[in-house]
Amino acid sequence: MKKGYLSDYFVGISAKRLSKVETDPGTSNQHEFNGVTDFKKILGAEKRTFSALFIYFGENEEETISQEGFLTWYDARENHPTRSEYRFYFPATSVTDKAETDDMVFIARRPDDGIIVIVTQANSTVENQLLWLFGFKDEGDLFSNFSVKSIEGQANKTIEFVAGFILDHIGIEIADDYEKYLDIL
């Protein structure tokens, strides 16, 4: 593994606009993220429970909240081998309670098998920063289902100042590579 790249911190990432059924308890109390079949590339097909850090970013720093929790990855139709329907079950948290329809959710798998669930206020600065960092383009209804990427190839960005700043903002401590800076001098 090359040092100083996104792959040091993430195995895969996904992004999706939240729907009413995922955010409004009056519509549904299912506590599940839908449209995640492509996650099989990153998580496999077996049922698993992951520890997770949930983070919410509004437009202002004062709106930022975080809470530990878990996500359970499972096939809701495991008894129907030709009709798989993978989902992420999550418990109610202060973050998921704050999420609204059209907010963006990013779900990232870490190399230590932990998961980070980041919810950003719709069309906020943090949303745009994370879309840029992970190489997503918000074009129309592209995010009505999860867009899933492995962090490799072109998605494996070098951690420069701006990327490091964004990662620091979401609580990822970046290992300083002082030799890289000495080479520049």
Could you read off the pLDDT of 104-155 as tens digits, one per residue? 999 999 989 999 999 999 999 889 988 988 888 766 556 777 777 777 655 5
Residue 180, phi-psi category: left (phi > 0), alpha (psi -120 to 50), beta (remainder): alpha
Q: How far apart are CA 46 and CA 34, in angstroms?
A: 17
Extract the tokens encoding 160: 């420069």
Domain parsing of the chain, residue ranges = 12-156
Phi, psi of 91 (to 5 degrees): -80, 165
Query: Quick one: 36 exposed, middle or buried, by C-beta within 10 A (0-12, 13-18, 19+)?
Result: buried
pLDDT of 96 > 60? The answer is yes
CATH class of 12-156: mainly beta
Angle, nearest 10°, between helix axes 125-133 and 161-169? 120
Closest CA to 152 of 42, 40, 35: 42
Asked whether the beta carbons of 127 and 104 are under 8 A apart, the reply is: yes
Q: Tens of pLDDT along 4-29?
A: 777 888 888 889 999 888 887 777 66
Cα–Cα distance list, 93 to 51, 52, 86, 182 (Å) = 13, 11, 21, 44
- Cα angle, residue 123 at apex, residues 120 and 126 outer, rounded to 5°: 45
Q: How many CA atoms lie within 13 A of 122 on its CB side?
A: 10
